[in-house]
A and B are shown apart, each in its own frame.
Chain A
Amino acid sequence: MSDLFRELGQHLYDGDAPGVIELTRKAIEQGLDAREILNAGLLPGMERVGRDFKDGELFIPEVIVAARAMHAGIELLKPLLARGAGPASRKIALGTVKGDLHDIGKKLVGIMMQGAGFEVIDLGHDVPPERFVEVVSTLKPDLIGMSALLSTTMPMMKNTIEAIRAAGLSGKVKILVGGAPITQAWADEIGADGFAPDAVGAVECARRLL
């Protein structure tokens, strides 16, 4: 059992999606619990990817390929997880704040979130507070991910959080912030629920918040 999970984690680490699909199928056929396949096979593999990314052993390409392999495994488990008392797919809406045209970092966060099984709504760049408010009230995401790459656009994160509060929606959604100039101290000051320094950390943080 544990050998199968270890092997599954290794294929995920290597970004081998066909291997992950094959072993996930095998585990399902053996009658293993879907939640256990996820928690003991896929997640530990992805956590190792995250650790090695932080340590500078891996870079974005390896991480993304691993995230895609994870996604392939999760897709197979989804129907089984849904049958149990498992959570439905979580939704995150991502956008670069108003005044900021950068979107590469946000795109990478989107790919990673998808890999981790989140449903991603990409609002693009230069997204005004009103648009975030509208999305929270109509599409009802579990999380909002805001990105700012400029020191001059960072304050717009605060405005957006205030707009969400003013609309009475602050209890309805968790707010995650990131981007090159962003720090935990800034996240605390503006009242964000979470901060992550990179795309891998964003997924960990999102999981922690939900």
Chain B
Amino acid sequence: MTPTELTQRLRDRVLLLDGGLGSYFIAMGLEQGRAPEAWNLEHPEQVIEVHRRYVDAGSDIIQTNSFGASPPKLAASGLEGRCAELNLAAVELARKAAGASALVAGNIGPTGRFLAPMGDATEEQLEEALREQASALARAGVDLISIETMYDLREALAAVRAARDTGLAVLCSMTFELRPRGVFTIMGNRLVPSLQALRDAGATAAGLNCTVTSDAMLTMVEQTREQASLAPVVAQPNAGQPIATPSGIKYDADPDRFAADIGRMLRAGARVVGGCCGTDDAFIRATRRAIDTMVSADG
């Protein structure tokens, strides 16, 4: 899918992504210290099963199990030199689950290496590494690329440049937190200028994922409204926060509340939505219902 095709499609409709993968794999017995990407070869049936849950729940786009499949991140989990192989397997499994019901986005996460002054990596090195992964995903036949959970704008831009050069549509989300002076990444990148920079670098749509719950992300999405050129926005919050009470721990997350917040994000300009950590197929199913209800109400 080219950037123009995705832009066109987003003009016509909202696209629903999937939710988290990691917690499913751990529940299915992912061994301690093992990279989830290793399962693309060792337990392909389980990976397909998780993807299938999201397809059944109504995801329009499912994301490959390749968040940590960039060469530096794989090397850190003892899987060096296996970038092409693991990304190819990731795409094949997602494709099997998606069939004709969903698009497949090749998922890319941070390399885990820090740029100066925190670390010794250079932007060129990160771009080269991310280019290797983006090319592997493109060769394996993904429909688009989705970059997620970036916390340093410089690495996010390197990833967008690498992904854009495949010719495919590119989604890119960074992870922000609410600080005393506004919405920032941990590295101090501001929300609105960051999303603008990602768009300028060639992201078809840019947005936010992880770290915060749906109500906090809603206030962030509302801030992107001040700049029309940022639309369409991507939003994938985490499931709710746990609260410690005298009678034990309680979770304030429930799929319906999450879906209601997503509905408000859509009204604030989000066009690509989904869930991040802690979300499962129940969250995606509830969000599907919320989107469909909105469409018929607006229809």
Majority SS at the chain B contact face = loop
> Given the complex, which residues of A lie within 8 Å of B26, measured CB to CB?
99, 101, 126
Structural contact, B32 and A152, CB atoms closer than 8 A: no
Tell whether, in the assembled complex, residue A125 and residue B33 are in contact, meaning their CB atoms are under 8 Å apart. yes
Q: Is B244 an interface residue (CB 8 A)?
A: yes
With an 8 A cutoff between CB atoms, is B187 at the interface? yes
CA distance A167 to B116 in the complex (A): 42
Report the separation of the CA atoms of residues A71 and B33 in the bound assembly, to the nearest whole angstrom.
30
B99 within 8 A of A: no
Chain A 174-191 against B: per-residue CB contact (8 Å), 1 yes, 0 no?
A: 000000110101101100
Report the minimum CB–CB distance from A100 to chain B (whole Å): 8
Stretch at the interface among A1-9, A25-33, A58-66: A58-66
Given contacts A61-B187, A152-B278, A186-B244, contact A101 B249 (CB under 8 A): no
Q: Which residues of A contact B239 (CB under 8 A)?
A: 151
Interface mask (B149-186 → A, CB under 8 Å = 1, otherwise 0): 00100000000000000000000000000011110101
B211 sits at the interface (CB 8 A): yes
CB B56 to nearest CB in A, in angstroms, measures 22
Q: Which residue of B lies closest to A53 (CB)?
A: B179
Main SS of the interface on chain A? loop
Q: Which residue of chain A is the closest to B31 with respect to CB atoms?
A: A126
Residue of A nearest to B250 (CB): A151
Among A149-166, those with CB < 8 Å from B are 149-152, 154-155
Query: Of all chain A residues, which has the CB nearest B253?
Result: A151
Residues of A within 8 A of B181 (CB): 56-57
Query: What are the residues of chain A within 8 A of B186 when measuring CB–CB?
Result: 59-60, 108
**In the bound complex, do residue B117 and residue A64 qualify as a contact, i.e. CB atoms below 8 Å apart?**
yes
User: Does the CB pair A56–B179 fall under 8 Å?
Assistant: yes
